[in-house]
Structure 1
Amino acid sequence: MAENDNEKVHIGHKARILSAEEIEKIEKDQNLVSEFKREKYEKEAQKNWDLFYKRNTTKFFKDRHWTTREFQELLNEKNKESKLVIFEVGCGVGNFMFPLLQEDDSLYFYACDFSNRAVDFVKENSQYDSVRCTAFQCDITKDDITNQIPLNSVDVATMIFVLSAVNPDKMVEALKNVFRVIKPGGCLLIRDYGLYDFAMLRFAAGHKLSENFYVRQDGTRAYYFSLEILEGMMTEAGFIQERNDYVQRNTVNKKKGINVPRIFVQGKFVKPRDNS
């Protein structure tokens, strides 16, 4: 094995070193989806998410009971008499919001989603209470969020597996939009797909839209973040990075005998206190 081949085997990052086979697969997959199809996926992004929720209704995602374990910022421990205002970007059908509202009656939620159908499912849920939460449809890359949420009013914003679905060219604008409604000193919590996650390496040839950006069979899209890329976007949007790490998890399917390595990025990014 040549010296440069030996170096290639160690391509990756601190959470995942790629095997020679994985490196070869990535290096071979260089052909991008045609410009015509890329534009089509962009134009039909909302329609594809509406179709996703039409097919899967409320049954695809499990309730996210792990969030307060990973993000202590979601716990209103300081002053229960004062509402903790949370803005969930990309609420889906409420798998994040409803468990938290059930656990803590001192929370108030704003929740938006790109899909009208998803928002309808949230509002139809028996747990939906307009006194405690407001759900609305929104394209965070261009819609003015302040039509629904006052400027500088949110304590904690969250984007859980959401930013990755946005065209990378529009991610910074989306983050700037969210930045506007967060209080100075408030924060944005992120969890999303990490570079070299198993799902990224599983894409067959013909699904690559741009570097680290892929399209699924159903037309929905996913970007896979390095820590450096995520930090750069957050900084450009005005946030200060407080923490930003790779998270490793294994998804085990005992019946099939499969142990799948998952890589996520997870971070906390703060709006400066002198920013109003």
Structure 2
Amino acid sequence: METDPSENMGDVFVHRLKELSEEDKKRLESQNSRLIPEAKAAKLEREAKRHWDIFYKRNETKFFRDRHWTTREFQELINFDPQENVVFLELGCGVGNMVYPLLQEGFSNFFFYACDFSPRAVEFVKTNPLYDEDRMKAFCADLTTDDLFENINEGCANLASLIFVLSAIHPNSWSKVLDVAFRALQPGGILLFRDYGRYDMAQLRFKPGHKISDNFYMRQDGTRSYYFTEEELAKLFTEAGFHILMNTYVQRRTVNLKEGIDVPRIFVQGKYQKPHVNGM
């Protein structure tokens, strides 16, 4: 699970660069010795949905832990008037590890839309005992297309989230994903974001034969992951039309005492707002 350090460090990336050991630098260099061939990379893109469906077939609901940290990290989730009706859209919901903790915490004034690329993941959301059609709607959607708007209206969401989702999508499609998110939000709506940061422990551990392109990798199961800088994200979201409320690195630890795991992690975290009608 993830535990917090004593404080968030916006300049953690600078520190991490300085702290890279010679061994880590050699690992990064060795990743370039055997790249994934273009034909295989193209096949991974074509079969992305299948790989995620197989992932959820194998792991069911047991792989990711519930995200009880979201209300602590994103105050926007709790800053609403309890009498105000709020529409929350989770883009890339997986098996409901964010939406169900929010349901359990109350949020009786929220209506939740939850979508995912994987039909199997959406089915797990729907078969959860907490699934309530009066309070939520789960459905499949490919965020690199306009699929989303077959199930929701443009401009309907007060809040949306992209939590560990963009990194799994080919960089060529990021602008489309952010366009879809932008259109789903109402003016003044906020997109909450967290994903993997550059030189995170997981990136350093990839061996030769797993690198697709710069900072973009294939995992053993065929799913993919990109590792971002805050500068990249600032440019992406600004070009998509968002105002940046927050855009920074955060340092966390992955701790599993049973397995003797205690390692530093680097994530990128942001809050991005769709401008109000008057542009403010």
The TM-score with structure 1 as length reference comes to 0.91
- Report the Cα offset of residue 256 of structure 1: 5.1
CA contact (8 A) 1:15 1:246 kept: no
Specify the SS of the correspondent of 2:89. strand
Counterpart pick for 1:221 among 224, 228, 232: 224
The aligned runs of 1:8-27 (5 Å cut-off) are 13-17=13-17, 18-27=20-29
Within 5 Å, give how 1:98-109 maps onto structure 2. Answer: 98-103=100-105, 104-109=107-112
- Letter matched to residue 85 of structure 2: K
1:14 maps to amino acid: V
Match of 1:84 in 2: 86
Residue 252 of structure 1 and its aligned partner are, at CA, apart by 2.9
- SS of the residue 2:160 aligns to: strand
The residue type paired with residue 29 of structure 2 is: E
What's the counterpart of residue 199 of structure 2? 196
Q: Is the 8 A contact 1:144 1:177 kept in 2?
A: no
CA distance in 2, matches of 1:140, 1:275: 28
Distance 1:249 1:140, change over 3 A: same
Distance 1:116 1:80 in 2: 33
User: What is the aligned partner in structure 1 of residue 186 from structure 2?
Assistant: 183
Query: Which has the higher mean CA deviation after the structures are superposed, 30-39 or 115-124?
Result: 30-39
- Amino acid of the residue matched to residue 147 of structure 2? D
Separation of aligned partners in 1, 2:122 and 2:260:
37
Aligned residue among 109, 114, 133 for 1:111: 114
What is the distance in 2 between the residues matched to 1:163 and 1:210?
16
Tell me if structure 2 keeps the 8 A contact 1:15–1:247.
no
Instruction: Quote the offset at 1:129 in angstroms.
Output: 0.7
TM alignment of 1:1-276, pairs within 5 A: 13-17=13-17, 18-30=20-32, 31-75=34-78, 77-103=79-105, 104-255=107-258, 257-274=260-277
Partners of 1:275 and 1:21 in 2: CA distance: 52
Does structure 1 retain, via aligned residues, the 8 Å contact 2:198–2:229? yes
Give the aligned length.
Answer: 264
State the Cα distance separating 1:258 from its structure 2 match: 3.9
1:19-48 superposed Cα distances (whole Å, 9 cap, x missing partner)? 222122212322421011001100110000
**Structure 2 Cα separation of the partners of residues 275 and 223 of structure 1:** 35
Structure 2 contact 30–207 (Cα < 8 Å) conserved: no
In 2, the alpha carbon distance for the partners of 1:202 and 1:187 equals 34
Distance 2:130 2:13 in 1: 42
Structure 1 unaligned runs (5+)?
1-11
Structure 2 distance, partners of 1:63, 1:13, is 27
Q: Is the 8 A contact 1:145 1:178 kept in 2?
A: no
SS class of match (1:205): coil
TM-score, with normalisation over the residues of structure 2? 0.90
| Residue range with higher mean Cα deviation, 222-231 or 78-87 | 78-87
Q: What is the Cα-based RMSD across aligned positions, in Å? A: 1.6
Q: Percent identity?
A: 55
Distance 1:143 1:72 in 2: 29
